[in-house]
Amino acid sequence: MRAVVTGGAGFIGSHVCERLLHDGHEVVCVDNFLTSSVDNIEHLMDDHRFRLVPEDVTEGLDVPGPVDAVLHLASPASPVDYLRLPLETLRVGSAGTWHALDLAAAKGARFLLASTSESYGDPLVHPQPEGYWGHVNPVGPRSVYDEAKRFGESLATAFRRNRGVDAKIVRIFNTFGPRMRPDDGRAIPTFIRQALRGDPITVTGDGSQTRSLCYVDDLVDGLLRMLASSHGGPVNLGNPHEVSMLELAQWIGKLTRTTSRITLIPRPQDDPERRRPDITLARQVLQWEPRTPVETGLCDTIADFRRRVDAEEGRRIGSPVTAPPLHSEVMS
């Protein structure tokens, strides 16, 4: 298979490129490096089956030669990024998705849209099944990401119905793992960065809001299962293990053996109260569910952060990562 991966130098995109190459496929990685890094794909550059195209998908997408699959992952994905780049986020979710779908239509390729659990907004239904239409503030600060992805889902569906594109939609819930940017603003990289530096670990609100955390390798497996399936989606991909942000901060504090204290700060507008996927459909049609224990994934992520911090600052921070037993609140 020859696959085009937009946003292929991003956190999730780079893992997708790596897995496709591992499975014997050719990869064309398209990225404008707005929020990604060449460091994420540097280890792939010497593979003759890997090609980097440093272009902006919102300006068009022309890939010579045959294409069997288009995986559209290009988009700012963290609140820090899409609040800083609201127009760019809306544009990649609209024009960028359109161009990626046009390429799939022209090449007769399968198309996979990486949508998001943010399509559900601050949900009134818990856990969230694919049939739930969501509770999104269309003019709030987070709407640039939420509505861009919701538009992308509608566009992919229209291409499937009217142009015969084999378009598939996945809704990705909170994903973590190596190669996350320490400053991307999401909870896990923020907590790990603060813990390793000995800074206060900042939890928003009272910390009772929840997320469900899926390790990146499991997510990539789900994405490729969806690409190979006959189902159009949308299909939720995420971990139904729900944890509060206060518990997560405590957990990361124990795994890093930090001296940092937890500090409560104001909570952002429209921050979802609860987030947990109903993955019944993924289990049925993809035979997929996450396999990596969250603790194992956190240890791998912390180790990756330590390596990068050491490389950047030229000194060792903290002690080697060893995983103590989970505290009872997280295990429950």
- The pLDDT value recorded for residue 313 is 63
pLDDT for residue 327 is more than 60: no
Q: What does the block give as tokens for 72?
A: 């559209």
- The residues annotated with a catalytic role in the active site are 145
Q: Are strands 242-244 and 210-212 parallel, antiparallel or unpaired?
A: antiparallel
Place of tokens 């390729």: 109
Total residues found in the chain within this entry: 332
CB-based contacts of 154, cutoff 8 Å, min separation 6 = none
Nearest-Å Rg of the Cα atoms of the chain is 19
For the chain, domain boundaries: 2-174+215-237, 187-211+241-273+292-331
Compute how many other C-beta atoms are within 10 angstroms of the C-beta atom of residue 8.
31
Full-model pTM:
0.90
Whether the Cβ atoms of residue 137 and residue 143 lie closer than 8 Å to each other: yes
Distance CA(12)–CA(219), nearest Å, equals: 9
pLDDT above 90 covers a percentage of the chain that reads 84
2-174+215-237 classified as CATH 3.20.20.70: no
Show the CA angle centred on residue 247, arms to residues 244 and 249, nearest 5°.
110
Condensed to tens digits (0 to 9), the pLDDT of residues 16-55 reads 999 999 999 999 999 999 999 999 999 999 999 999 999 9
- The pLDDT value recorded for residue 314 is 59
Condensed to tens digits (0 to 9), the pLDDT of residues 169-194 reads 999 999 999 999 988 889 999 999 99
Condensed to tens digits (0 to 9), the pLDDT of residues 75-89 reads 999 989 999 999 999
Distance CA(332)–CA(326), nearest Å, equals: 10
pLDDT for residue 332 is more than 90: no
Which residue type does 209 have? Q
> Right CATH number for 187-211+241-273+292-331 from 3.30.1450.10, 3.30.2130.30, 3.20.20.70, 3.90.25.10?
3.90.25.10
Question: Widest CA span of the chain, in angstroms?
Answer: 58
| 49 closest CA partner among 20, 84, 81 | 20
- The pLDDT value recorded for residue 329 is 31
Condensed to tens digits (0 to 9), the pLDDT of residues 224-260 reads 999 999 999 999 999 999 999 999 999 999 999 999 9
